[in-house]
Amino acid sequence: MSDEAVAAPPAMWGHVEKVYLAMKDTAIPEQLPGDDELVVPVWTGYTTRLFQELGIAVPYYGRVLKLLYEMGCITQLQRGGGATQSKWALLDEPNLERFVQAVETIEDAPKAPGELEQRIAALEARLPEGVDIGRALFDLQEQINRKSDWSLGGDSDGD
């Protein structure tokens, strides 16, 4: 990445920082499984809901979490889904230098030439024009969360 990119951080850096700080605000210190001495802040919640509350578009979800993971800032302790909340251990605050390194690592990862683009194009060709896949998936997950909460006797917010 050029010196110019470091001088003016990309929007993705703002998303990464915003997500980490929001997680940190509500994290509770917990002992890590398998380690009798290590206590770290642990955020528990619905990750998709966190992104929505922060006003970060769903398509950034995977990339933001991958960058935080690659920087050594977070690690997932429990995978969420449906009525189950995710649990993330917060290990270290993000910084711009590690962010730039993580972006370069991810961008330099070997990829099959054009394979992803071909798969996306094939999927998009099967959809009606104007469908926002990210939004549709987010809405579907919210419906699943509400149904799961209802069937388990919880409230409609999943909390």
- Separation in Å, CA 12 to CA 39, 81, 111: 29, 25, 21
| Secondary structure element (H or E) that encloses residue 90, with its range | strand 86-90
Gap between the Cα atoms of 9 and 13, Å rounded: 6
The sheet carrying 28-31 orders its strands as: 28-31, 39-45, 86-90, 74-78
What pLDDT is attached to residue 112?
66
* Six-digit token string for 99: 């962010």
pLDDT at 81: 84
Q: Look up residue 79 and give its two tokens.
A: 């995978």
**pLDDT tens, per residue, the chain with 159 residues:** 444 444 556 889 999 999 999 999 999 999 887 777 789 999 999 999 999 999 999 888 889 999 999 999 999 999 988 889 999 999 999 999 999 999 988 877 666 667 777 777 777 777 777 777 777 778 888 888 887 666 555 554 444
pLDDT at 12: 93
Question: Residues 132, 58, 104, 10: what is their CA dihedral angle, to the nearest 10 degrees?
Answer: 100
Domains of the chain: 3-111 (1.10.10.10)
- Which pLDDT does position 5 carry in this prediction? 45
